[in-house]
Chain A
Amino acid sequence: MELQMEQMNEIKRALQREQRQLMLRKFFRNKLAVIGSSIVLTLVLVAIFADVIAPQDPLDMVVRDRLTPPGSKYLFGADTFGRDVLSRVIHGARVSMLVGTCVGLSSMVFGMLIGLYACYYSFLDNVLMRICDGLSAIPSTLLAIALMAVLGSTATNVIVAMSIVYVPRMARVSRAAAMVVKEQTYIEAMRATGASDSRIIWRHIAPNILSPVIVQASYNFANSIITEAALSFLGVGIPVPQPSWGNILNEGKSVITTGWWLIVFPGAATALAVLGLNILGDGLRDMLDPHTN
């Protein structure tokens, strides 16, 4: 009997190991997910080591070299003030990644907070979710511009404004997931154990809704990069002269016929970042969602 149990356990452990490996293999077999995560990882590294990688100071003006086309001296060319576009794009990645990370995390935290409480307390549900509906009704860029107009344009305010824009989506996703979890017997069992409401919400419901929340957070990350670029392009985002992809585009638009490199490189960087994040999001969804195989 004891021996049998031992063997059973051995088999079970082997199966579990298999399962864990399977999950990783599933991720690595998904080529898009691997590509997406390597793009994102590269950008994150570029953002962290921007000072080391960038060949020049992004704010350093060499008036003699203004609008130099891409070449051996300036790989991505120089802008209207004679600043190195490559260095500016590299430092722009830092801004984009910082904004994306902060917005992704803060919308995740506040979205889960709203979603979980709305799901658990029906009297809060209507109030909170109608506010979220109201916010979602306004186009996100427009709402972000309006908020920036009120708050004033600083880097911190960009993050605050965009978190407000992206919280409602996250709230919706986490509320929907929490509704399903809340009806499970183990939540009732916890209430029968005498756990307090907040303990049930944070310790027992929250971990069970993490996978859709993480996927949504990766999409929010990507979208906030686009919105930040749009805000900066319109001149209400990251204040100049700080380099951000949107700022470089903005400065380039007046010389678009002569200085194509001022549009193409930051535009391509934005597209690449968003593409990578979206692919990563899809890969995470496939990996975390048991229904897709």
Chain B
Amino acid sequence: MSTRILEVRNLVTSFKTDRGIMKAVDGVSFHVEKGEILGLVGESGCGKSVTSQSIMRLYDEKNLVRYEGEVLLEGRNLMKLPEHEMQHICGKEIAIVFQDSLSSLNPVFTCGDQIMEALIIHQGMSKKEAKERAIEMLRLVGIPSPEKRFNQYPHELSGGMRQRVMIACALSCQPKLLIADEPTTALDVTIQAQIMELIVELNRKLQMGVILITHDLAVVAETCNRVAVMYLGQIVEEADVNTIFDNPRHPYTMGLLQSIPRLEGERARRLHVIQGTVPLLNQIPKGCRFRPRCPYAADICQSEMPELRQISDTQFVRCWHVEHIHNGR
């Protein structure tokens, strides 16, 4: 039995906006185990990033946002912690890598300075110790001649290098949980592969839990242990990675999988698309949220929202028609 690092229970994140309160995350529950990579998948605007940033409570709670539910980091409820204790958790126990590597680094400091920040804040290291450690971190994330890179500014590095520096920043205090929020979106394909390999390798080496947020299903297939599919602030399907790809049970998951272009098969076959777009948060449909775009929609879908039901040891699905749908048939 492996240990759970993070457990999220019924997380609700609602934003106060001019047009009323909008729930960007609505009752999300999942967990991450030690040494595990959990993929969080969905289209843009499904609440993946909001979920991850809510875990770290990065939004302005005084004016902007209200959290409900529990986020348990090794049994400790982060939602109940006062702000200054939360500062000890962020960066030390949980770290995050953002997708935009250019704007994630402060242009007025060298890369080394930025890696040292977390070490000085959390470990109380002296500048000299922190520098040694930072160079070690740069080497760990595969940056050649780290001593030189230490003194370079972010604009002097390429996108892939900057993302590596970001990962070095995130990992400098050896967090128990790493949140990677679309870490490879801004990079080209070869660099993408390198960065993903690096994350997987470090995940094995340091035995930390990873939440990988992405809309690239190929990346998910290669790296994740388990996958949670999100749609409009809810998890619609959760399963281990093989089940998701071999036996998806939610129409949205199937739609996502069918939307991947394939090389084999009929050339003339048109690429499958999911009809419509993700609705805005103030236009959430009644009943099942995916209904307006779902090819299997029936009357019951319109009136009642399905619960997330367990259908096997590892698979959970939020759909009324689970029994009738098998792999798209």
Chain A positions within 8 Å of B, measured between CB atoms, are: 2, 5, 9, 12, 16, 122-123, 184-196, 199, 204, 207-208
Contacts and interface: CB of A to CB of B under 8 A. Distances in A.
Interface stretch (B6-14, B114-122, B191-199, B262-270): B114-122
Nearest to A8: B158
Contact of A193 (B84, B148, B156, B169): B169
Contacts of A184: 103
The 3 closest A-B pairs by CB, nearest first: A194-B91, A193-B91, A194-B90
B156 A12 contact: yes
Interface residues of B, number: 33
Given A186-B106, A192-B90, A5 B121 contact: no
7 contacts: A2-B144, A123-B62, A186-B104, A186-B107, A194-B87, A194-B88, A194-B118
A189 B121 CA distance: 14
B1 interface: no
Contacts of B96: 189, 192
A9 B148 CA distance: 10
A130 B193 CA distance: 53
B106 A193 contact: no
B218 interface: no
A276 B240 CA distance: 71
B122 A194 contact: yes
Interface in B104-163: 104-109, 117-118, 121-122, 144-145, 148, 156
A192 B88 CA distance: 10
Given A193-B169, A194-B91, A186 B103 contact: yes
A208 B153 CA distance: 14
A195 B62 CA distance: 18
Nearest to B117: A193
Contacts of A189: 96, 98, 104-105, 166, 169
A80 B144 CA distance: 76
B92 interface: yes
Contacts of B90: 191-194
Given A186-B103, A194-B122, 7 more contacts: A12-B156, A122-B62, A186-B106, A189-B104, A192-B58, A196-B87, A207-B108
Nearest to A191: B58
Summarize A's interface: helix, strand, loop or mixed. Answer: helix
Nearest to A12: B156
Contacts of B156: 12, 16
A190 B117 contact: yes
A179 to B, nearest CB: 14
Given A185-B103, A199-B121, A192 B95 contact: yes
Contact of B87 (A9, A195, A207): A195
B291 to A, nearest CB: 35
B144 A190 contact: no
Contacts of A195: 87, 91, 117, 121
Contact of B56 (A192, A196, A207): A192
A234 B122 CA distance: 58
Contacts, number: 69
A122 B107 contact: no
Given A9-B148, A193-B91, A194-B118, A208 B106 contact: yes
A138 B123 CA distance: 50
A190 B106 contact: yes
A203 B62 CA distance: 23
Nearest to B96: A192
Contacts of A199: 121
A184 B98 CA distance: 12
Contacts of B88: 194
Given A184-B103, A186-B105, A194 B121 contact: yes
Contacts of A196: 84, 87, 121
Contacts of B89: 194
Contacts of B100: 185
B63 interface: yes
B138 to A, nearest CB: 14
Contact of B58 (A5, A186, A188, A204): A188
B28 to A, nearest CB: 19
Interface string B198-228: 0000000000000000000000000000000
A123 B62 CA distance: 10
A187 B103 CA distance: 9
Given A188-B58, A189-B98, A194 B106 contact: no
B118 A193 contact: yes
B95 A193 contact: yes
Interface string B74-97: 000000000010111111100110
A208 B108 contact: yes
A204 B117 CA distance: 11
Nearest to A123: B62
Contacts of A191: 58, 90
A16 B88 CA distance: 38
A193 B108 contact: no
A122 B90 CA distance: 23
A135 to B, nearest CB: 27
B104 A194 contact: no
A233 to B, nearest CB: 43
A213 B106 CA distance: 18
A201 B63 CA distance: 19
A124 to B, nearest CB: 12
Interface in B294-322: none
Residue among A5, A16, A190, A207 with most chain B CB within 10 A = A190
A185 B92 contact: no
A122 B62 CA distance: 9
Contact of B91 (A2, A5, A123, A192): A192
